[in-house]
């Protein structure tokens, strides 16, 4: 077991998140290099059937009513106990909302290093090499753990999901079901409910074209310029995180990791720098046109066409052209 690679399965509303499959596929490759197994760790209540689709070598399913919904305190307790008991070589978690609650705390509790924001993993002659994407996506850092065992948190989309999903030549893995290895009584964190996004607003995931704005819009008073263009195109204005955080547009308009994933035919990115958080939500668009005064903005690495002119001049000019 000392060479096993653990993968924390992530699920919400009875559905596994893609990151689970992405990590499972990578875990199998690494486990082969280490001479161990890829073990998916699934925490839940009556959720055993979720194990069927995970393409790992084995699934360790921990069943407890306290694990019915994600609870960072309960998850941390169980994972800390499993790590101590089974001593895996590597534990992979998502650098997701759930995974970000766990990795750094477990690192302290288990006394193991954590390498975060990982988008590259390799077993180099039996040794782990992990590459992190840091400083807003501007820098890659390739690191090796000082000891043998290590925790990593992986960015969504870093590895292909299909190599860790049952189907296409991958059979379901044997499932070992256990009760929680640690008491889950007296939790201080209580899950109350899930809150679904408010309906009623435009669904930006259904638009064929999007006018998307970022910090470059400058001020709330300029949003009108983007709205006029969107109206002329018969669509809506979407935005990167800073705009919705500022309350200039509702959360339902936010494109990105913590917002919505959009795949329109045309994505107009105006004044958006292209932080990893944003790129994750729009890189699948058919045609991306970016306008940003900073020629080095990462948005230009994913855009098909780009310009560095002032978006505040461009918006009204484009609205006129569109109106014909």
Partner 1 sequence: MNIIVPIKQVPNLTDELEINGEGNNLDHEALQYVLNEFDEHALEEAVLTKESASGTVTVVGVDTTGELDGALHTALAKGADKAAKITGDFPRGTDSHTQARLLAEAIKDMSPDIVLTGVQAADDRDGQIGPMIAAHLGMPYVGVVTGVTVSGGKAVLHKEYAGGVMAEFEVSLPMVVGVQAAHQPPRYAPVSKIRQIAKTAKIDEIAGGEAAGAGSTVRRMFKPESAGHAEMWEGSPEEVAEKIAGLIRDKGLLRG
Tell me if 317 contacts partner 1 by CB under 8 A: yes
Neighbouring C-beta atoms of residue 283, cutoff 10 Å: 17
Please identify, among the stretches 29-37, 49-57, 177-185, 187-195, the one whose residues bind partner 1 according to the rule CB under 8 A: 187-195
Tell me if 203 contacts partner 1 by CB under 8 A: no
Tell me if 125 contacts partner 1 by CB under 8 A: no
Binding residues among 244-303 for partner 1 as defined by CB under 8 A: 245-247, 251-252, 254, 257-261, 265-266, 268, 286-291, 295-296, 298, 300-303
For partner 1, the closer of residues 191 and 222 by Cβ is 191
The CA distance from 103 to 91, in Å, is: 9
Length of the chain: 324
Which of 2, 14, 35, 108 touches partner 1 (CB under 8 A)? 108
The helix/strand/coil state of 7 is strand
Element spanning 66, H or E: none
From residue 149 to residue 168, what is the string marking binding to partner 1 with x (rule CB under 8 A)?
-x--x---------------
The CA distance from 103 to 98, in Å, is: 9
**Residues with Cβ within 8 Å of residue 44, at least 6 apart in sequence:** 11, 50, 61, 62, 63, 67, 68
The helix/strand/coil state of 94 is strand
Please identify, among the stretches 28-36, 38-46, 95-103, 171-179, the one whose residues bind partner 1 according to the rule CB under 8 A: 95-103
Tell me if 84 contacts partner 1 by CB under 8 A: no
| Count of residues of this chain found to bind partner 1 when the rule CB under 8 A is applied | 104
Q: What minimum distance in Å lies between the beta carbon of 19 and partner 1?
A: 10
Element spanning 89, H or E: none
């Amino acid at each position: 077991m000392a060479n096993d690679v653990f993968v924390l399965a992530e699920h919400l509303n009875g559905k596994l998140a893609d990151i689970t499959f992405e990590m499972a596929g990578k875990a199998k490759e690494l486990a082969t290099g280490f001479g161990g197994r890829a073990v998916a760790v699934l925490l839940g209540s009556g959720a055993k059937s979720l194990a069927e689709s995970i393409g790992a070598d084995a699934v360790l399913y921990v069943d407890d009513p306290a694990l019915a919904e994600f609870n960072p305190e309960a998850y941390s307790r169980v994972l800390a106990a499993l790590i101590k008991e089974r001593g895996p070589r590597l534990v992979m978690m998502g650098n997701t909302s759930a995974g970000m609650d766990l990795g750094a705390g477990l690192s302290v509790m288990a006394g193991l290093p954590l390498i975060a924001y990982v988008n590259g993993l390799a077993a180099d002659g039996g040794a782990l090499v992990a590459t992190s994407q840091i400083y807003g996506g501007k820098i890659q850092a390739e690191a090796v753990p000082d000891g043998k065992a290590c925790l990593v948190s992986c960015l969504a989309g870093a590895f292909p999901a299909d190599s860790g999903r049952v189907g296409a030549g991958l059979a379901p893995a044997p499932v070992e079901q256990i009760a929680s290895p640690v008491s889950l009584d007296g939790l201080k964190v209580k899950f109350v409910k899930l809150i679904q996004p408010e309906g009623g607003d435009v669904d930006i995931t259904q638009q064929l074209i999007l006018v998307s704005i970022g910090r470059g819009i400058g001020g709330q008073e300029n949003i009108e310029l983007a709205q006029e263009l969107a109206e002329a195109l018969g669509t809506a204005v979407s935005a990167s995180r800073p705009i919705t955080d500022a309350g200039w547009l509702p959360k339902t308009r936010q494109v990105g990791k913590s917002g919505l994933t959009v795949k329109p035919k045309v994505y107009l990115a105006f004044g958006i720098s292209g932080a990893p958080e944003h790129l994750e939500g729009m890189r699948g668009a058919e045609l991306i046109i970016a306008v940003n005064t900073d020629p080095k903005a990462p948005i230009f690495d994913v855009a098909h066409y780009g310009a560095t002119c002032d978006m505040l001049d461009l918006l009204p000019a484009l609205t006129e052209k569109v109106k014909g």
